[in-house]
Amino acid sequence: MFDNTDEIHPLFEGAPTTTEFKKLRKRIVRGVREAVEQYGMVNEGARWLVCLSGGKDSYTLLAVLHELKWRGLLPVDLLACNLDQGQPGFPATVLPEFLQRMGVPHRIEYQDTYSIVTDKVPAGRTYCALCSRLRRGHLYRIAREEGCEAVVLGHHRDDILETFFMNLFHGGRLATMPPKLLNEEGDVMVYRPLAHVAEEDCERFARAMNYPIIPCDLCGSQDGLQRQQVKQILDGWERNSPGRRQVMFRALMNVRPSHLLDPGLFDFAGLGLGTADRSPGN
């Protein structure tokens, strides 16, 4: 199916014809479809703002969403968007040229949040938290301007796991990036269709397609991040016990409030002799 360009979106032109790649593509597409259906992301006829950073994950997201739409399996309008935040060395022409060549509707927005971040964040501290907040605010604004009901992000399964452990180790809470979220203002949804897709699969896919990858460390603030430390821990667990990441991810979908300690989620005070714990597996 990959050698007939009449049957695929241009984002898949030149795709490898190997059995290995076809299995990879099928696995990713299946994972995205599962997430879209399981978390009720589709509102038919809606418009999505698909955020494109130029990294492997966002290229994978863009390709799979357009493939699903191309095949009539995703009845929404897609608008790709890149927010150029003014990082030194950012290759500003790469994404516009790529999107134009692929025939993908898009909007390129320039906002120099980098200067704001470097001015506000003390020396020696990482920029990521403030940079992310500023970026998200601009994306919400763009979504409103473009009539998009949802901002669609390229966070994958491993991002979700890493965020869970960062909150556990450093934030004192059990929380992570949900696949579907309503913003604080209540007027824009946030979707993560790659929630069931492994980072390794995104990397293999994007590199096999030879998409023009833009590195994510242009601001020079990545070394020593808490996320990198958590990633190293998870990598070690995965090496010692292959498949551990997927087991932990499934645990996030199998929560038992009665077996945790949050009285806001379970009525421990009302539990006593003669009452029944309705939680599965009690």
> What string of pLDDT tens digits covers the 282 residues of the chain?
344 445 678 898 889 999 999 999 999 999 999 999 999 999 999 999 999 999 999 999 999 999 999 999 999 999 999 998 888 888 989 999 999 999 999 999 998 888 888 777 777 677 777 778 888 999 999 999 999 999 999 999 999 999 999 999 989 999 999 999 999 999 999 999 999 999 999 999 999 999 999 987 655 555 447 888 899 999 999 999 999 999 999 999 999 999 999 999 999 999 999 876 655 555
- Domain positions in the chain: 5-216
pLDDT at 128: 75
Q: What is the sign, positive or negative, of the torsion defined by CA atoms of 171, 172, 176, 182?
A: negative
pLDDT at 124: 66
pLDDT at 280: 54
pLDDT at 186: 96
Question: What pTM does this model have?
Answer: 0.90
Class of CATH domain 5-216: alpha beta
Q: CB neighbours (10 Å) of residue 188?
A: 21
